[in-house]
Amino acid sequence: MSRTVLLTGLGTVGAFGCGGESLERALAEGTPSLSEVDRSAGYHLPEGARLACLVTVSLSEWLSPAEGRRMSPPSKLAVAASRMALRGAGLDSGSEGSEATAVFLSTAFGPSSNSEGMLKQIFLEGPEAVSPFLFTESVANAPAAQIAIANRARGPSVTVCQREAGPLLAVSQAAAAVASGRAERAFAGAVDEVSPLLHALLDRFGALARSGPDGDEIARPFDRRRCGFLAGEGATVLLLESAESVAARGAQAIARVLSWGSAFDPTAPVSDWGKGHDVLARGLRKCLGRAGIEPQAVDRIVSGASGSRAGDRLEALTLREALCGGNSPGGPGLPPVLTPKAVTGEYGGGLLGAAVLAAAGARFGATPGFAEPDPELDVVPHDGSALPPPSTVLVSSLAAGGAGAWLLLGAP
Amino acid sequence: MTHAGKNGPRVAVTGLGAVSGLGWGAEALWAGLRAGRTAIRLFERFDHSGHRTHLAAEAPEPPAGAVRDLPGGSRLSLADRFALFAALEAVAQAGLGASLANEEAGVYFGSSTGGMFESERFFSTFLGERRRYARLSSLAAQQVNSPGDAIARHLRITGPVQTVSSACASGALALGAALDAVRSGEVEMAVAGGSDSLCQLTYAGFNALRSVDERPCRPFRASREGMSFGEGAAVLVLERLDRALARGVEPLAVLDGAGASCDAYHMTAPEPTGTGAAAAMDQALRDAGLPPEAIDFVNAHATGTPLNDAAEWRALTQVFGERAAALPVTATKALIGHLLGSSGAIEAVATVLSLRHGELHPVPRAEEAQTGVDPELPVALVLDRPLSLEARTAVSTSLAFGGSNAALVFSRWATGQAA
């Protein structure tokens, strides 16, 4: 069985605020919302990164205090986003619970502040000081479980951990479950928090943008001067449904999931980027081929480029190899390339939310921080000018460590 | 077998690999299980003097040259090493070479904590007064997805690679994803399983919940007081049955169905009527195109906690009705402990080996005074000695923290059987 999979709901929360409209506004303005990271614990180097895309908005509209006190920060974000998705799809939270409703959620680092809290208790106070609450909400699948509990979703509950490729893999698995009939409806998305410790560790690995001679901390996807990404937290949860389910309740779909695929670059070192763009490009072409889509039919790219030096290079070479038939100068160019992680930050599912908005024809502003093309990459991201609505949107996200995942979205 | 092909081509298991407290290798696992020898004892992986309990099934030292001698081996976490050893064993049994670069292969893996054991070494220094001496590089390989990635990197796999981290159902869910990927043609071959090592975080966490037994766990017994920890990895090579036969490889079993569900009830307590677990088993049976009567034994999740075992029994009665009390049940965790993200995978290996050997491994007698099971959960638990059973089909269950349930249906493959 292979059924048409439609996307009917978008819930998203991040530094930009709550909901698709807030994200759309932020993407149109092309400005990240940055906050100072708490450095009081002393984890950071003095010269290290200071800023991140942190959630500052209240979730009280989506979560009662009694619910929230039993949840880790990622669980709160994920449940709030799932309820937004449900409301956007015209469904009531809790009323649509079913064995046919699945949850596929990705997280790169899990509820890391609870794990940190537990480790402090173990090493500073002793193992018997460990709080059962912290443990319960330290497991990677806590946010997915809380979405299931909050929405009575009794279908498969799966948490995917595959770094930056995880969000697209989660949506892919959800789409596959709906297409095959394993689920009628699925919550699918991503969640992550940026704790001071995680921020400090990412910075010490040299992953984050720092201020320097070229300016303040800012992600510059595909720019010659790029030096790292902005860490971002938040959650994005999409509601996927079979076309039959959507038709039966007379609902409106936002987009159609046309295809999905993934690949692995075994040249990638642990937690770093490889040089296997040819292998990744083959995986991307396979993803296109599965839906019978020619490379030239892709008329919009929502790229996972984040400002990482090696990551953006691999992304550019992969896209050009798969869609332009190679990386020779003067060849055909890519369709308009959107780089939402420059606004939403890396992690927290901002890429997914932006992808859905792009498929729905939302306007994107200029890529923040981009001014100097990198001749090796030969990718100039979108300049903010008006674009016609796309017919086929390619969403791409490559992960440190070797994984890569793609999703193709089209009009419903 | 007439049920074949309901949801696509049948999928064979052509390779097995395992690391557990019973040793390195699937043979060591089966020898220990068959003998009913528990590996749960005092352990040395970390200083547990400050913890409430003191037992675990710790993997012994690896055989000389195993894994550590691989490129980058000294930087691999324990979970990575377990995973790599099991993967190389499974791939060799499947008759495959050292590189799968030319195969349409993918990795579908489960892990609950990845390299947390090594991360703890870092944090114990980093959170203390000697912060400046904490070696950040030791954290590079400690992601949950690290064991699955390590397999893909080593075998030069270029297809899909994904890690499921849904607590104790991770390994079984990963096998379910692999089954779907092979059936749909997304991959020709899947290297699937799970890996986890002992670590203080989960040891202290489950102890904080008072879910750990101070003695070796006693699934389905009236005296049960909780789980025991284990560590290790398990890997199964999956490929289309017709493909395996065409390349002259003897299938070890057939993975005929997978099902998954969520209790959507509570973060730590199972839904008491077992409805969620039953839904996963029902789905796996439907996926396999088999009625409950076709199942000859169950490799139960059977953690040994009072609530989990009770809910699982009620789930068995929902699925199998009056047959539930007569259906042979075995509980692998009584011998190798709970491998968390790897438990579903290693219990899948135990299930395949049971089908292959025509025997169910026993559960050791808990104590002289207790000869049977909890009278309120009258499962037909295999006790003391192996049960000879030429079973056709079996189900293995995984019921996790957060209410995530998974079930797998395996069928025996007899040499010379027609596909």
Judge whether residue B127 has pLDDT over 90: no
Judged by CB atoms closer than 8 Å, whether chains meet at A120 and B205 is answered as no
Question: Out of B48, B168, B217, B361, which one is annotated catalytic?
Answer: B168
Using CB atoms, which residue from A122, A176, A279 is nearest to B200?
A122
Q: Are B76 and B67 in contact (CB under 8 A)?
A: yes
Q: Characterize A62-71 residue by residue with b for buried, 16 or more Cβ atoms within 10 angstroms of its Cβ, and e for exposed.
A: bbeeebbeeb
Counts for chain B of helices (H) and strands (E), in that order:
11, 17
Domain that holds residue A300: 258-410
What does the DSSP 8-state code read for residue A212? Answer: B
List, in sequence order, every residue forming a beta bridge with B409; answer none if it has no partner. B257, B395
B173 touching A (Cβ < 8 Å): yes
Question: Out of B48, B154, B301, B361, which one is annotated catalytic?
Answer: B301
pLDDT in the model for residue B137: 67
Judged by CB atoms closer than 8 Å, whether chains meet at A401 and B260 is answered as no
Last residue of a domain, one of A255, A279, A296: A255
Average pLDDT over residues B92-118: 95
The answer to whether residues A233 and A310 belong to one domain is no
pLDDT in the model for residue B142: 80
Q: Which of A163, A161, A127 is nearest to A143 (CA)?
A: A161
Average pLDDT over residues A68-95: 91
Nearest CA to CA, how far is A381 from chain B (Å)? 28
The answer to whether residues A67 and A54 belong to one domain is yes
Cα–Cα distance for residue pair A276/B24, rounded to 1 Å: 33
A127 touching B (Cβ < 8 Å): yes
For residue A300, the tally of other CB atoms under 10 A from its CB is: 25
Judge whether residue A284 has pLDDT over 90: yes
Cα–Cα distance for residue pair B360/B331, rounded to 1 Å: 10
Cα–Cα distance for residue pair A124/A89, rounded to 1 Å: 47
Please tell me whether residue B183 adopts helix, strand or coil conformation. Answer: helix
Average pLDDT over residues B374-382: 94
Using CB atoms, which residue from A141, A271, A279 is nearest to B141?
A271
Average pLDDT over residues B352-368: 89
Active site residue B338: yes
Last residue of a domain, one of A255, A273, A295: A255
pLDDT in the model for residue B3: 40
Using CB atoms, which residue from B139, B207, B262 is nearest to A157?
B262
- Considering only CB atoms, which chain B residues are within 8 Å of A121? 204
Count of domains for chain A? 2
B120 touching A (Cβ < 8 Å): yes
List, in sequence order, every residue forming a beta bridge with A395; answer none if it has no partner. A302, A407
Cα–Cα distance for residue pair B200/B147, rounded to 1 Å: 19
- Considering only CB atoms, which chain A residues are within 8 Å of B260? 102, 155-158, 182
Confidence of residue B140 (pLDDT cuts 50, 70, 90): low
Judge whether residue B138 has pLDDT over 90: no
Judged by CB atoms closer than 8 Å, whether chains meet at B159 and A42 is answered as no
How distant, in Å, are the alpha carbons of A108, A134, B326 from that of A142? 13, 11, 36
Judged by CB atoms closer than 8 Å, whether chains meet at A124 and B127 is answered as yes
The answer to whether residues A246 and A305 belong to one domain is no
Q: Are A102 and B365 in contact (CB under 8 A)?
A: no
The answer to whether residues A66 and A185 belong to one domain is yes
Confidence of residue B6 (pLDDT cuts 50, 70, 90): low
A46 touching B (Cβ < 8 Å): no
Please tell me whether residue B206 adopts helix, strand or coil conformation. Answer: helix
What are the tokens at A292?
Answer: 């019978």
Using CB atoms, which residue from A130, A262, A282 is nearest to B208?
A130
pLDDT in the model for residue B126: 82
Q: How many contacts does A have with B, using Cβ atoms within 8 A? A: 235
Cα–Cα distance for residue pair A231/A219, rounded to 1 Å: 10
Nearest CA to CA, how far is A84 from chain B (Å)? 19
Three-class HEC string of B314-348 = HHHHHHHHHHHHCCEEECCHHHHCECHHHHHHHHH
- Strand order through the sheet with B229-230: B41-42, B55-57, B229-230
- Considering only CB atoms, which chain B residues are within 8 Å of A141? 165-167, 400-402, 404
Using CB atoms, which residue from B128, B159, B264 is nearest to A149?
B264
Using CB atoms, which residue from B146, B164, B263 is nearest to A159?
B164
Judged by CB atoms closer than 8 Å, whether chains meet at A264 and B152 is answered as yes
The answer to whether residues A247 and A262 belong to one domain is no
The answer to whether residues A146 and A174 belong to one domain is yes
Judged by CB atoms closer than 8 Å, whether chains meet at A266 and B164 is answered as no
Would the pTM of this model clear 0.95, i.e. be above it?
yes
Average pLDDT over residues A304-321: 97
The answer to whether residues A145 and A236 belong to one domain is yes
Distant-in-sequence, close-in-space partners of B384: CB < 8 Å, separation ≥ 6: B36, B362, B364, B365
Judge whether residue A96 has pLDDT over 60: no
Cα–Cα distance for residue pair A135/A299, rounded to 1 Å: 46
Looking at chain B from residue 236 to 265, which residues have their Cβ under 8 Å from any Cβ of chain A?
260-265
The answer to whether residues A327 and A251 belong to one domain is no
Judge whether residue B290 has pLDDT over 60: yes
pLDDT in the model for residue B4: 42
Cα–Cα distance for residue pair A72/B27, rounded to 1 Å: 42
Judged by CB atoms closer than 8 Å, whether chains meet at A154 and B276 is answered as yes
- Considering only CB atoms, which chain B residues are within 8 Å of A97? 264
A330 touching B (Cβ < 8 Å): no
Q: Are B159 and B104 in contact (CB under 8 A)?
A: yes
Last residue of a domain, one of A224, A255, A286: A255
Q: Are A205 and B122 in contact (CB under 8 A)?
A: no
Average pLDDT over residues A143-165: 97
pLDDT in the model for residue B1: 36
Judged by CB atoms closer than 8 Å, whether chains meet at A201 and B136 is answered as yes
- Considering only CB atoms, which chain B residues are within 8 Å of A42? 131
- Considering only CB atoms, which chain A residues are within 8 Å of B403? 145, 148-149, 157
Judged by CB atoms closer than 8 Å, whether chains meet at B160 and A173 is answered as no
Counts for chain A of helices (H) and strands (E), in that order:
13, 13
pLDDT in the model for residue B416: 75
Judged by CB atoms closer than 8 Å, whether chains meet at A155 and B161 is answered as no
User: What proportion of chain B, given as a percentage, has pLDDT over 90?
Assistant: 84
Best mutation target, A109, A159, A163, to test chain B (most B CBs within 10 A): A159
A156 touching B (Cβ < 8 Å): yes
B197 touching A (Cβ < 8 Å): no
- Considering only CB atoms, which chain B residues are within 8 Å of A201? 136, 139
Please tell me whether residue B353 adopts helix, strand or coil conformation. Answer: helix
Q: Which of B187, B225, B219 is nearest to B206 (CA)?
A: B225
pLDDT in the model for residue A216: 85
Q: Are B258 and B362 in contact (CB under 8 A)?
A: no
Q: Are B19 and B32 in contact (CB under 8 A)?
A: no
When computed from its CA atoms, the radius of gyration of chain A, rounded to whole angstroms, is: 20
Distant-in-sequence, close-in-space partners of B156: CB < 8 Å, separation ≥ 6: A266, B99, B100, B101
- Considering only CB atoms, which chain A residues are within 8 Å of B111? 161
Q: The domain spanning residue A380 has which CATH number?
A: 3.40.47.10
Judge whether residue A105 has pLDDT over 60: yes
Give the nearest chain A residue to B205 (CA atoms): A135
Nearest CA to CA, how far is B1 from chain A (Å)? 22
Judge whether residue B71 has pLDDT over 50: yes
Q: Which of A266, A405, A279 is nearest to B151 (CA)?
A: A266
> By CB neighbour count within 10 A (0-12 exposed, 13-18 middle, 19+ buried), where does A294 fall?
exposed
- Considering only CB atoms, which chain B residues are within 8 Å of A102? 260
The answer to whether residues A48 and A169 belong to one domain is yes
The answer to whether residues A241 and A269 belong to one domain is no
Please tell me whether residue A300 adopts helix, strand or coil conformation. Answer: strand
Using CB atoms, which residue from B124, B160, B267 is nearest to A142?
B267
Active site residue B357: no
List, in sequence order, every residue forming a beta bridge with B192; answer none if it has no partner. B108, B236
Q: Are B383 and B365 in contact (CB under 8 A)?
A: yes
Q: Which of A62-76, B56-70, B88-102, B131-145 has the least mean pLDDT?
A: B131-145
Using CB atoms, which residue from B153, B159, B276 is nearest to A263?
B159
Judged by CB atoms closer than 8 Å, whether chains meet at A265 and B158 is answered as yes
Give chain B's domains with CATH numbers. 11-412 (3.40.47.10)
Q: Characterize A344-355 residue by residue with b for buried, 16 or more Cβ atoms within 10 angstroms of its Cβ, and e for exposed.
A: bbbbbbbbbbbb
Judge whether residue A328 has pLDDT over 80: no
pLDDT in the model for residue B369: 57
What are the tokens at A102?
Answer: 């699945």
Token pair 């489950």 is found at B206
Looking at chain B from residue 127 to 156, which residues have their Cβ under 8 Å from any Cβ of chain A?
127-128, 131, 136, 139-141, 143-146, 149-150, 152-153, 155-156
Active site residue B361: no
Average pLDDT over residues A165-190: 97
Q: Which of A276, A257, A391, A353 is nearest to A322 (CA)?
A: A276
Judged by CB atoms closer than 8 Å, whether chains meet at B165 and A110 is answered as yes
Q: Which of B42-51, B260-269, B360-369, B385-394 has the least mean pLDDT?
A: B360-369
A148 touching B (Cβ < 8 Å): yes
Q: Are A65 and A150 in contact (CB under 8 A)?
A: no
User: What proportion of chain A, given as a percentage, has pLDDT over 90?
Assistant: 91
Q: Which of A39, A202, A282 is nearest to B159 (CA)?
A: A282
pLDDT in tens, B178-234: 999 999 999 999 999 999 999 999 999 999 999 999 999 999 999 999 999 999 999
Best mutation target, A5, A39, A123, A141, to test chain B (most B CBs within 10 A): A141
The answer to whether residues A357 and A386 belong to one domain is yes
**Which residue type, as a one-letter code, is found at position B358?**
G
Q: Which of A2, A112, A14 is nearest to A345 (CA)?
A: A14
Judge whether residue A156 has pLDDT over 80: yes
Q: Which of A94, A101, A76 is nearest to A8 (CA)?
A: A101
B204 touching A (Cβ < 8 Å): yes
Average pLDDT value for chain A = 95
Confidence of residue B141 (pLDDT cuts 50, 70, 90): low
Confidence of residue A4 (pLDDT cuts 50, 70, 90): very high
pLDDT in the model for residue B70: 72
What are the tokens at B269?
Answer: 């307590």
The answer to whether residues A240 and A300 belong to one domain is no
A154 touching B (Cβ < 8 Å): yes
